Structure 1
């Protein structure tokens, strides 16, 4: 039996932005495209200040399901690598799939931590982050503490999505703030506007005494299947919305249908799939040796 009540009108008290719940399986559906920026970042990280008998110590901030963290062990086989994440679901998947000794004699472990206030409890040769800092509004304020924890010659490297002005994200923000949905979802679709431009990251990191390289790349991704852009954002940008509506299936389905129709118009399907441009910003900062 369907209710005649507008699903968006059931709760009229505005709520603060919801901490997103994560679905590792949904996130990994596009793991190839999501991994490519990290591989590009990894290729620009210089040799770490290790020496015989002292393997590299590496932190991965916002490690998610651990599939990218595991790539660090391919580059530094004997390293001691720790992935940090706040999501219990992501950590369970990471531990099940990747935790333990690595073939090169190193170790890979995962710990629960909120990277919004994470402070290093060790000295690191590399601190890295893949598509996570965009969820932390004040993340540039942590750069000083993180780079201070690097050994001389160590590296801080990250990449963040910068698609907040693209139709996928602009339409989501506008729909959340529309009269139909704003009482429940205002602000849930506009969390990435605090990502800085490459020049701003360059200024912040060079001021900390690091030799810094920043750049941006727009990947024109060809996504297969029906409504692939909706499927993509279900793993990331839509998570706060889906979390806010998780106790109201009818409202969630109504919202997804409205958003799906907007995405179909913004990203028409071609004969070989749907082209989804995605901008990424990268930074590699090396501490003075």
Structure 2
């Protein structure tokens, strides 16, 4: 299941806004070493570097395509090919940023404390994850997967791990002196329901589309588009407002 930097970056301004809000909320002032886990095409890394221009910033991702885009965008930054669940450097960080990446990984009860343990004293662990599994776009993806000739292939796709705000607060509080958790719903204006499909082709639809052949993909997307068109009615000018809830965490060690 590969990532496409081009597909993901089609809605870069909308996807970058949450990480701007997240990085702005980091209270750590003296930042010498920072890392962006799941840096993608480098848009989040750029936000981190803008906030902390004197820091040594590293980006980490498991996609060669994403890293190629990130290196082109920020040629002076060190980008590393690695899986976050195996990332275990022998040093501490003043900021660990994980923007829309940790939801793809399992065992959050182990993962989050392990990552927070890589913080230096006073360092910040800043996380943003989509909190939209009960939004129509996700519900319709699951229904489309279950109710088509492809059900045997994708009807049991594992959904990204998500938990409540209380879960993450209780999980991180024993390891950090301060934990701040909040939820924001963004309303992204998109040019019609087809754009909603294009948005999720770059993220949530990837596990559904990857096992399908080209014919099945086309039929799946046609059926999904029809459902999205009904669920997200366009405004008078043709715009669709896509509600997108996201969960934010800033934990300070």
TM-score range, shorter chain: over 0.9
Q: Identify the structure with the greater helix proportion.
A: 2
Does 2:250 correspond to 1:284?
yes
Q: Quick one: distance in 1 between partners of 2:109 and 2:200?
A: 25
The higher radius of gyration belongs to: 1
Contact 2:190 2:242 in 1 (8 A): yes
Q: Quick one: distance in 2 between partners of 1:235 and 1:125?
A: 31
Contact 2:127 2:248 in 1 (8 A): yes
Greater alpha carbon shift after TM alignment, 248-257 vs 137-146: 137-146
SS at match of 1:129: strand
Q: How much does 1:24 deviate?
A: 0.7
**Unaligned stretches of 5+ in structure 2?**
none
116, 132, 135: which one aligns with 1:163: 132
TM-score in terms of structure 1 length: 0.83
Q: Which residue of 2 aligns with 1:174?
A: 143
207, 210, 214: which one aligns with 2:174: 207
Does 2:156 correspond to 1:191?
no
TM-score in terms of structure 2 length: 0.95
Contact 1:160 1:282 in 2 (8 A): yes
Instruction: Give CA-to-partner distance per residue, 1:25-61, whole Å, 9 cap, x none.
Output: 11111111111111111111013345xxxxx111111
Q: Quick one: distance in 1 between partners of 2:143 and 2:104?
A: 19
Contact 1:153 1:286 in 2 (8 A): yes
Q: Quick one: distance in 1 between partners of 2:154 and 2:170?
A: 35
**Unaligned stretches of 5+ in structure 1?**
1-19, 51-55, 101-107
Task: Tell me how many residue pairs correspond in the alignment.
Answer: 252
Runs of 4+ aligned residues of structure 1 deviating over 3 Å after TM superposition are: none
Q: Quick one: distance in 2 between partners of 1:259 and 1:144?
A: 38
Does 2:189 correspond to 1:222?
yes
Superposed, 1:91-170 pairs within 5 Å as 91-100=67-76, 108-170=77-139
SS at match of 2:85: coil
Q: Quick one: distance in 2 between partners of 1:143 and 1:26?
A: 28
Q: How much does 1:144 deviate?
A: 2.2
SS at match of 2:173: helix
Greater alpha carbon shift after TM alignment, 124-133 vs 217-226: 217-226
